[in-house]
């Protein structure tokens, strides 16, 4: 069970919904630049202006440089950061590739090949189909806002040969909104879906830097029933204030059932909208259109973020992964690839604050209760709902249609399709 794909037992694996990647390429004014420039110190600079702002989860850089000796070149990329923050700079290439003509590569932190120490090797250094690791780490930019001037800096430290920067591009992958819904399906900050069927209390988000140290945490409680599992309730803590939402529109604010909803931590407005008798939406406003939305439909609860940015979530961890990198990390920072192991890793520990008013088995150190392979194997095969009926009911869910079909068939309830997609 790999975490980058949603696992659907008899339905097999669905392709993950990746976070959006946008490529920005140098225009005519920033290409065909001499290396080194005439009458200069040997530094050639080319800038790309990005006018869209979103939090960065990944950066790749593509360069096409013609030069008669690549090892003479130092290549860096920098971003003009917001006021008050030092501009980050990453070294892409330093005196590598020997006397190879030209440098035509994609720099990507996840590449398995490095140019560090490479001599004459045209297959690595001059190959527009290859990705190589940069000298520094492009993850330096993760969590920064995307907008501003991205500048490629090329220095010819020998100044004996000549070349040109023909073109370059920066590929920016945005951190998207996270979600938890259904049986249960989780969408990480990087836009990847996976399932975790264990029954326990789980850390959905832990963002201690929120509100300049006020702190924000979201826990969810999952429950197994019949042949499927679901999110039974969710609790959001901001500062010392806690909103808990459960089944059939039950909720508590700071421990008071059905309390008048106003603001959490005296700052963040909370509203409750009754869509119909079965569907209710609770919205926590974080400012500037950013929200945490908890939805209850009958006895199922779902959670999502809206407009997530580094200001609220930078460095946060939990079931959504690490904001700013999108990596699904263990508590000690190890990248995890198994959905069951990852879910169990983020069970609420007995050393952590309990956001739910009532305890429910299991509680750490007792581990999450996991479903049997036999149970998962017969979930859809014995469904009282046909595949055709489920697909028709879930048609309006768009790219989440398959998740909807799975939930409808597992629960044997066509009305789940009316809960609405995120």
Query: Stretch 6-22: mean pLDDT, rounded?
Result: 43
Q: Among 174, 197, 215, which residue terminates a domain?
A: 174
**Residue 342: inside a domain, yes or no?**
yes
| pTM (predicted TM-score) | 0.74
Is pLDDT of 328 > 70?
yes
In tens, the pLDDT along 302-320 reads 999 998 888 899 889 999 9
The answer to whether residues 162 and 196 belong to one domain is no
Query: What is the DSSP track for 156-172?
Result: ESS-SS-EEEEEEEEEE
Between 118-122, 214-218, 260-264, the lowest mean confidence (pLDDT) is in 118-122
The answer to whether residues 52 and 131 belong to one domain is yes
Domain that holds residue 358: 6-18+176-370
CATH code where residue 73 lies: 2.60.120.260
The answer to whether residues 231 and 343 belong to one domain is yes
**Residue 239: inside a domain, yes or no?**
yes
CB 236 within 8 A of CB 246: no
Q: Among 370, 388, 414, which residue terminates a domain?
A: 370
The answer to whether residues 139 and 212 belong to one domain is no
- pLDDT at res. 6: 32
The answer to whether residues 40 and 153 belong to one domain is yes
Distance CA 156, CA 52 (A): 32
Give residue 248's region: left, alpha or beta (phi > 0; psi -120 to 50): left
Residue 264's DSSP bridge partners are 268
Question: 284 or 87, which is more confident?
Answer: 284
The answer to whether residues 165 and 288 belong to one domain is no
**Residue 313: inside a domain, yes or no?**
yes
**Residue 382: inside a domain, yes or no?**
no
The answer to whether residues 140 and 232 belong to one domain is no
Task: Enter the DSSP assignment of 121.
Answer: -
- pLDDT at res. 283: 97
Between 98-107, 176-185, 195-204, 332-341, the lowest mean confidence (pLDDT) is in 98-107
Best mean pLDDT range from 82-86, 101-105, 125-129, 292-296: 292-296
The answer to whether residues 217 and 365 belong to one domain is yes
Is pLDDT of 80 > 70?
yes
In tens, the pLDDT along 128-179 reads 778 999 999 998 998 788 999 999 999 887 766 678 899 999 999 888 899 9
The answer to whether residues 127 and 204 belong to one domain is no
Domains contained in the chain, number? 2
Query: Stretch 60-77: mean pLDDT, rounded?
Result: 89
Q: What is the CA radius of gyration of the chain?
A: 25
């Amino acid at each position: 069970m790999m975490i980058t794909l949603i696992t659907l037992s008899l339905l097999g694996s669905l392709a993950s919904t990746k976070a959006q990647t946008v490529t920005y390429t140098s225009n005519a004014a920033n290409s065909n630049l001499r290396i080194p420039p005439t009458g200069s110190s040997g530094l050639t600079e080319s800038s790309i202006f990005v006018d869209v702002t979103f939090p960065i989860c990944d950066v790749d850089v593509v360069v096409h440089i013609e030069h008669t000796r690549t090892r003479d070149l130092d290549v860096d990329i920098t971003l003009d950061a917001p006021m008050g923050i030092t501009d980050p700079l990453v070294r892409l290439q330093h005196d590598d590739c020997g006397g190879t003509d030209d440098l035509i590569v994609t720099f990507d932190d996840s590449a398995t090949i490095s140019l560090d120490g490479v001599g004459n090797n045209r297959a690595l250094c001059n190959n527009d189909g290859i990705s190589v690791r940069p000298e520094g780490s492009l993850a330096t930019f993760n969590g920064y806002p995307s907008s501003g001037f991205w500048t490629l800096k090329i220095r010819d430290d020998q100044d004996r040969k000549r070349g040109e920067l023909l073109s370059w591009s920066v590929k920016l992958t945005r951190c998207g909104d996270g979600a938890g819904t259904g049986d249960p399906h989780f969408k990480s900050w990087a836009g990847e879906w996976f399932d975790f069927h264990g029954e326990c209390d789980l850390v959905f988000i832990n963002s201690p830097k929120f509100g300049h140290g006020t702190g924000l945490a979201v826990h969810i409680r999952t429950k197994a029933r019949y042949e499927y599992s679901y999110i039974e309730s969710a609790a959001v803590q901001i500062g010392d204030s806690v909103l808990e939402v459960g089944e059939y529109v039950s909720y508590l604010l700071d421990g008071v059932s059905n309390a008048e909803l106003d603001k959490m931590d005296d700052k963040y407005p909370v509203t409750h909208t009754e869509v119909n008798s079965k569907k209710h939406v609770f919205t926590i406003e974080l400012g500037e259109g950013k929200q945490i939305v908890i939805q209850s439909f009958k006895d199922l609860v779902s959670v999502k973020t809206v407009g997530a940015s580094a200001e609220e979530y930078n460095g946060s961890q939990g079931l959504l992964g690490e904001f700013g990198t999108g990596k699904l990390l263990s508590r000690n920072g190890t990248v995890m690839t198994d959905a069951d192991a990852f879910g169990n890793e983020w069970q609420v520990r007995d050393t952590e604050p309990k956001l739910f008013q009532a305890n429910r088995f299991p509680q750490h150190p007792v581990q999450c209760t996991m479903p049997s392979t036999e149970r998962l194997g017969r979930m859809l095969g014995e469904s009282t709902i046909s595949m055709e009926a489920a697909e028709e009911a879930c048609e309006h869910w768009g790219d989440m249609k398959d998740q909807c079909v799975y939930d409808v068939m597992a629960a044997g309830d066509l009305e789940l399709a009316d809960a609405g997609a995120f």
